[in-house]
Amino acid sequence: MIKRVLRAKWVITAILAIFLFITNCKHEPLINHIPGPVDTTGNGGGNADDTTICFERDILPIIVTNCAKAGCHDAITKEENRNYTTYSGIVTKEDIKAGFPLQSKFFVELNTGQMSQAKYGNLNAAQKALIKRWITEGAKDGKNCPSKCDSSKFTYSGAIQPLLDKYCVGCHKPSSLSGNTDLSTYAGVKDAAVTKNTLMPSLKRSTSWMPLGGSKFSDCQMAQIQKWINAGAPNN
């Protein structure tokens, strides 16, 4: 008799435990295990092993070139009181709900809202996916990130173009032609790099260097561009 009561108690406990386990799982937000390489936009010869997202290295440059243009969300204009040149300017309670990109005004606007249109940001699919993943993973800050740059790699398609896409093209494409410089095509880049010879000097200026509103390029990134120009700026 006592044995039977004990057994019944054990069964009830087990059922209760299983029930709690199942309901618990249901409420877990689906934020983990989003696959995919991080550096889809390239960073000048990426390191395939590093799949973590670092805000300063992987996210900020895309936002600066696409959103922090003069007259928009730069540090001077701050359109709608939003300055998108710093982490604290971008990650506000109002615009970003960490873990939930589709509930974050910032992502919804650049994905499907007014800011997704060509005359504004119009980020490419890889850039949107990266920002979505960053918010999903908690929209964390990250500074002094390890560099993925390798100055021995300097082909146009493998290093130069990804670098310019990430840091420059948002302000330098036909629909947003700052400084009369188009960096969205090979012809335009070669024109700036060789014919006009404005590309390297623009990176090296001591004030208002390019990327405007962003950090100065590292020695390694500058070396990649300089080596490519020295090699005759080939379309390789």
Which residues sit at the interface with ligand HEC, rule CB under 6 A?
64-65, 68-70, 167-168, 171-172, 178-179, 181, 192, 198-199, 202-203, 208, 210-213
Query: Least distance in Å: CB of 189 to ligand HEC?
Result: 9
Query: Least distance in Å: CB of 139 to ligand HEC?
Result: 22
CB nearer to ligand HEC: give 104 or 184.
Answer: 184
CB nearer to ligand HEC: give 11 or 194.
Answer: 194
CB nearer to ligand HEC: give 133 or 172.
Answer: 172
Query: Least distance in Å: CB of 20 to ligand HEC?
Result: 52
Tokens of 224: 């990649």
Query: Least distance in Å: CB of 84 to ligand HEC?
Result: 10
CA dihedral (157, 159, 162, 168) in degrees, to 10, reads -120
Q: How far is CA 178 from CA 110, 123, 220, in A?
A: 21, 17, 25
Tokens of 197: 């010879």
CA dist 146 and 80 (Å) reads 33
94-131 as b/e, with b when 16 or more CB fall inside 10 Å?
ebbbbeebeebebbebbbeeebeeeebbbbeebbbbbb
CB nearer to ligand HEC: give 101 or 121.
Answer: 121
159-176 as b/e, with b when 16 or more CB fall inside 10 Å?
bbbbbbbbbbbbbbbeeb
Query: Least distance in Å: CB of 180 to ligand HEC?
Result: 7
CA dist 153 and 32 (Å) reads 33
CB nearer to ligand HEC: give 51 or 195.
Answer: 195
102-105: long-range pairs with CB below 8 Å, 24+: 104/135, 104/139
Determine the residue with CB nearest ligand HEC: 179
Tracing tokens 């039977």 back to the chain, one arrives at: 4
**Of 197, 187, 186, 184, nearest to 230 (Cα)?**
197
CA dist 68 and 74 (Å) reads 4
Query: Least distance in Å: CB of 153 to ligand HEC?
Result: 17
CB nearer to ligand HEC: give 116 or 178.
Answer: 178
Query: Least distance in Å: CB of 161 to ligand HEC?
Result: 12
CB nearer to ligand HEC: give 101 or 131.
Answer: 131
